[in-house]
Amino acid sequence: MKAPRMTYERRSVGIKDMASQLGISIGTVSRALNDRPDVNPETRRQVLEAARTMGYVANQSGRSLRSGTTNTIGLIIESGSETATNSDNFFLGLMDGLQSTLSRHQYDLVILPYSFEEDPFAYLRRIVARRLVDGLIITATKRVDPRIDLLTQARIPFAALGRSTTGGSHAWIDLDFEGVVRHGVERLIGKGHRRIAIGLPANDINLGYVCHDTYRAVLEQNGIAFDPGLVIRARPSEQGGYGVGSALIAMTELPTAILLVQDLMALGLYRRLTEHGLVPGRDIAVVGFREMPQTRFLSPHLTSFQLSLRDLGAALAEALLATMKNQGSANRQPAPGRIWPMELIEGESDSRLITR
Amino acid sequence: MKAPRMTYERRSVGIKDMASQLGISIGTVSRALNDRPDVNPETRRQVLEAARTMGYVANQSGRSLRSGTTNTIGLIIESGSETATNSDNFFLGLMDGLQSTLSRHQYDLVILPYSFEEDPFAYLRRIVARRLVDGLIITATKRVDPRIDLLTQARIPFAALGRSTTGGSHAWIDLDFEGVVRHGVERLIGKGHRRIAIGLPANDINLGYVCHDTYRAVLEQNGIAFDPGLVIRARPSEQGGYGVGSALIAMTELPTAILLVQDLMALGLYRRLTEHGLVPGRDIAVVGFREMPQTRFLSPHLTSFQLSLRDLGAALAEALLATMKNQGSANRQPAPGRIWPMELIEGESDSRLITR
DNA sequence: CTGAAAGCGCTTACAG
DNA sequence: CTGAAAGCGCTTACAG
C-alpha cells in the first residue's frame, strides 16, 4: 500500500541517501548537520563532507513540518500600485539591508508581493495560515491597520514599517517625519522666510496628520500665523509634484519657500516651475524630502534629507529578530517603536535669500 | 514517547480539528477541500463552510511534503547592486504581471533576493535543494550562465529573462535590443544624420555585442562607415549617461545624434549637455531606450521605446507555466525563446533637423 | 461516497 | 556518542 513516488523525476538526495551512503542512521546525519553538540567530531566531518559532495541540503518542507519553523522571513509589499511603482528603489534598498542581517541569523528573506487589486488583509491571512514564514515585515502601514491585530492574534512575530494607532506593543520603525518638517521649516525660517508652503502626499492619513501638525506648530512657535492655503496635498509622485507647482503658481502671491514631504514630488515641482520661467532656489526656496537617485541630478541641487535604506532594512530585521527571541521568553518586553532619523543634506535649492 | 509540541503557542487550526468538528475523517476533509470529484456535495459544502468559519488553510509544509509541490514560483533578483538600485521600477512592474498571471493558475509568487555580495550560483543551488519552489524565473541572465545548467539538471522548470548561449531548449524572453538599435539608427539616418553615436552599458557582454553588431550593420547597410570612436560604453546609470555626455563633448566634432541603449542614461546625458550649454534635440538628436517614470519628465520629451512591464511579466509567467505543463508530458517540446518587442514613442528630442 | 492507513523528509526525546 | 522510533500535517490509493 506504498504510495507511488510522485516526484520521481525531480528526486534529489535526501537524508536517507546520506545515511545509507555513510552507513549511519538518519538521526546522526541530522544531528551532525544541525550542529548538535553530542556528535563525534569525526562523524560530523564525514557527514559535512558527504553533504558537500552529494549536494545535500535538507528539504525545507520536511524540516518545517517537524520543527514548526521555516527559517524564512517574509517582507510584504504591494506590487503594481502607483505608490509601489514610484517607491521603486526604496524597497530594493530595504531588501538589501533586511537580507544581509537576516542571513547572518540563518534566516532567508522572501518578498511576498500582493497585487494592489487584492485585499491586503485576506492575502496576509492566507500567508499566516499556510505557515509560510516564521516572521513578517509589513509595509505601507495604515493609521488603523487590521493586519496588526491579525498578526498579534496569530502570534506571528512581525515588525511594521510605519506607525499605527492599531495594536500597542508591536515592533515598528517609522521615518522621522516630524523631524524633517521641524528641521526643514526652522531652517527656512532661519533664512528669513515667512511665507512657507508645504506639499504633502494626499494618500496616507497618518503621515498627513503628523506633518501637518508639526508644520503648524513650528510656524506658530516662531510667531508665524498658520495659513491653511499654504498646505498643498497631492499624489505621491512626480505628477503630484507638478500639481504642487501649479498650485503655487496659481496663488496670488507666490510663497518664498516650500517644503515637500514626499521624495518624488521635487521632480515634478522643478519641472513645473521651470516651465513657468521660475528657477528653484532663485524664485522660490525648495526643501525636498528624501534624497534618491532621481533627485540627485536636479539643478540646482536639492536640499533634502538622507537615510540609509540598507541600515533601515537592517534595523527592521533586528527589531523583528528581537521580537522573535522575546516571544519565547517568559516575561515579554513590549517591543519598542522607533523613529528613524534623516539627515539634512544641503543643496543650493534653498541657499539664496529670497525677498519679495 | 510523544514528542512535545514545540509550536503550542502558535498552533492554528489543522485538518484534524476540522475533521473532529465535523465528525468526518481527515481524508474526506482533504478531498472536499481539494475539489476531488468523489465527494458528496453536501459534505463538501459543510467542509468549505467550516474552513471559512474556523479559518482553516492547509499548512503548506504538510502539503508540500506529501505532494512534492509547493504551489509557489520564485523570482530571483539581485538586491543592493547598482544595477538593481537603478532597475528599480522595472522589477516592481514585472512582479505585478507575474503575480496576476500566476495567481490565476493557483500559484503564489515569492521574490527571492540575493545580495550582490553573494554567489548567485550557490544561492540558487540552495533554493533548489531546499525545494522551496515549483518553478523559477531567473533574471540578469548572463551570456554564459551556469545557473541554466544547474536548473536543467535539477529538472526545475524555469524561464529566463534574458538570452544566453548556455543551455538550449529552456524558455526565455529578452527585450528586442536589435530591434531598438535598428529602428533607432534607421530613424536617425532617415532624418539625415550621418554621425550617429551610440551609448552602451559596459556591464553586460551579451547585450553589448548584440547592440554593437546591429549598430554597425545598420550603418553599413546605409552606406555609412562604422566609426569605433562613436561607440561609448558607460555604467548603466544616470552617472553613466553623464559620462556619455562628457565623452560626446570631448570629441573634436560633436556627433549630430546619439542612441542610448540603457534607460537611465538619458537623465545624466541631458544634465551633462545642459551644463555645457547644449540643448538636447537642438544641438544633438537623442534617442533613448526605455520610457520610464523618471524619463517622462525630460524636456524636450525624449524619443524612446516603450514596453508594458506587466505584459512582460505575464508572458514570463505563461512561458514558465507552459514549461511546467510540458515537463510532465511524454514528448517534450523545446521551449521557445522569445524576443519582446518595444514600441517607439516619438518625442521632440530627435525631431529637429540638425546640420553642422 | 467515505474511512483507515501509509508515507512524504525531516528532528528529537529516549534508551543504550 | 548513536540508533530506533515517533510524529509534524497533509494527500491519496485502496477497500468497502
A86 vs B286: which has the higher pLDDT: B286
C-alpha span between B118 and A130 (Å, rounded): 29
Q: Please tell me the predicted confidence (pLDDT) of residue A185.
A: 97
Spatial distance between the Cα atoms of A121 and B44, rounded to a whole number of angstroms: 26
Task: Provide the pLDDT for residue A262.
Answer: 92
Using CA atoms, how far apart are residues A90 and A78, in angstroms rounded to an integer? 13
> Which residue in A301, A289, A294 sits closest to A259, CA to CA?
A289
Confidence of residue A343 (pLDDT cuts 50, 70, 90): very high
Asked if pLDDT for residue A101 goes beyond 90, the answer is yes
Alpha-carbon separation of residue B81 from A106, A114, B77, B268, B305 (angstroms): 22, 24, 10, 19, 25
Interatomic CA distance for residues B54 and B35, integer angstroms: 19
Of A70-74, A150-154, A318-322, B219-223, the poorest mean pLDDT is in A150-154
**Mean pLDDT score of chain B:** 88
User: Contact at 8 Å (CB) between A319 and A173?
Assistant: yes
Q: How does pLDDT run across A125-148, given as a tens digit for each residue? A: 888 888 889 999 999 888 889 999
Distance, CA of A20 to C1' of D11, in Å: 27
Quick one: CA dihedral A206, A210, A213, A215, positive or negative?
negative
**pLDDT tier for residue A3 given thresholds of 50, 70 and 90:** very low
A59 CB below 7 A from strand D atoms = no
State pLDDT tens for residues B287-346. Answer: 999 998 778 778 899 999 999 999 999 999 999 999 998 775 555 666 679 999 999 999
Residue A6 has pLDDT above 80, yes or no: no
In sequence order, what are the residues at sequence separation of 6 or more whose Cβ sits closer than 8 angstroms to the Cβ of residue A186? A218, A222
**What pLDDT was estimated at residue A8?**
33
Does B117 touch chain A if contact means CB atoms closer than 8 Å? yes
Q: Are A139 and A75 in contact (CB under 8 A)?
A: yes
A43: Cα within 13 Å, side-chain hemisphere = 20
Q: Which residues pair with B145 in a beta bridge?
A: none
Listed in sequence order, the DSSP H helices in chain B are 15-22, 26-33, 41-54, 60-67, 82-104, 120-130, 146-154, 177-190, 205-221, 238-250, 265-275, 309-328
Query: Out of A64-73, A206-215, B285-294, B323-332, which region has the weakest mean confidence (pLDDT)?
Result: B323-332
Can you tell me whether residue B320 is helix, strand or coil? helix
- What's residue A295's pLDDT? 83
In 3D space, the residue among A271, A270, A293, A265 whose CA is nearest the CA of residue A281 turns out to be A270
Q: What residues are paired with A83 via a beta bridge? A: none
Q: DSSP label at B58? A: -
Decide: helix, strand or coil at residue B86.
helix
Query: How many whole angstroms separate alpha carbon A97 and alpha carbon B80?
Result: 8
Q: List beta partners, residue A79.
A: A115
The predicted pLDDT at position A153 comes to 84
For the segment A221-243, the average pLDDT, to the nearest whole number, is 93
Q: Is the shortest CB-to-strand distance from B59 to strand D under 7 Å?
A: yes
Q: Would the CB atoms of A99 and B117 count as touching at under 8 Å? A: no
Which of A109-113, A160-164, A234-238, A329-333 bottoms out in mean pLDDT, i.e. has the lowest?
A: A329-333
pLDDT tens readout for residues B172-183: 999 999 999 999
* Of residues A292, A125, A171, the one with CA closest to residue B51: A125
* Banded model confidence at residue A332, pLDDT cuts 50, 70, 90: low
Amino acid type, A263: D
pLDDT in tens, B33-42: 998 988 899 9
What average pLDDT does the segment A203-217 reach? 85
Q: What is the mean pLDDT of residues A55-72?
A: 90
* pLDDT at A38 exceeding the cut of 90: no
CA–CA dist A240, A200 (Å, integer): 9
pLDDT in tens, A147-174: 999 998 888 999 999 988 887 789 999 9
Average pLDDT over residues A316-333: 79
| The predicted structure's pLDDT at residue A334 | 64
pLDDT of res. A331: 57
Which A positions 12-41 lie with beta carbon below 8 A of chain B?
12
For A71-88, what is the mean pLDDT?
Answer: 74
Q: Which residues pair with B158 in a beta bridge?
A: B136
Which chain A residue has the Cα nearest residue B117?
A100
Nearest-angstrom CA–CA distance, B77 and B94: 11
Does A219 reach chain B within 8 Å, measured CB to CB?
no
Q: Which residue(s) pair with B286 in the sheet?
A: B258
Question: pLDDT: is B259 or A154 the higher one?
Answer: B259
* Mean pLDDT value across chain A: 88
Q: Report the protein residue whose CA lies nearest the C1' of nucleotide C15.
A: B1
Look at residue B265 in the predicted model and tell me its pLDDT. 93
* Pick from A57, A131, A293: CB nearest B61: A131
pLDDT tens string A290-309: 998 778 778 899 999 999 99
Residue B110 forms beta bridges with which residues? B74
Banded pLDDT at A350 (limits 50, 70, 90): very high
More confident residue, B239 or A12: B239
Chain A residues with CB under 8 Å of B114 CB are 99
Strand D contact with A1 (CB < 7 A): yes
Give nucleotides in strand D with any atom < 7 A to a protein C-beta. 1-14
Query: In angstroms, rounded to a whole number, what is the distance separating the alpha carbons of residues B50 and B37?
Result: 19
Q: Is the CB of B62 under 7 A from strand D?
A: yes
Q: pLDDT band for A330, please (50, 70, 90 cuts).
A: low
What pLDDT sits at residue A265? 93
pLDDT of residue B298: 84
pLDDT of residue B326: 75
Is residue B43 helix, strand or coil?
A: helix
Q: What is the pLDDT of residue A277?
A: 93
**Residue position matching grid coordinates 556627433:** B255
Which region among A7-11, B91-95, B155-159, B321-325 has the lowest average model confidence (pLDDT)? A7-11
Chain A closest CA to B86's CA: distance in Å? Answer: 7
Q: Is B52 within 8 Å of B88 (Cβ atoms)?
A: no
Quote the cell numbers at residue A158.
512581525
Count Cβ atoms below 10 Å from residue A206 Cβ, excluding itself: 18
Percentage of residues in chain A having pLDDT higher than 70: 91
- pLDDT attached to residue A328: 58
Nearest protein residue by Cα to C1' of nucleotide D15 = A1
Which chain A residues have a beta carbon less than 8 Å from that of B91? 92
Q: Is the CB of B54 under 7 A from strand D?
A: no
pLDDT at B207: 79
User: What average pLDDT does the segment A199-216 reach?
Assistant: 86
Listed by number, the residues of chain B in 58-87 with a beta carbon closer than 8 Å to a beta carbon of chain A are 58-62, 64-65, 67-68, 70, 79-80, 84-87
Query: Using omega within 30 degrees of 0 as the cis cutoff, is the peptide bond preceding B157 cis?
Result: no
User: From CA A171, how far away is CA A167, in angstroms rounded?
Assistant: 10
**A244-271 average pLDDT score:** 94
Q: Which of B63, B274, B297 to mutate to test the interface with A (most CBs of A within 10 A)?
A: B297
What is the pTM assigned to this prediction? 0.87
Across the interface, of B87, B110, B274, the residue whose CB is closest to A112 is B110
CA–CA separation, B285 and A27 (whole Å)? 70
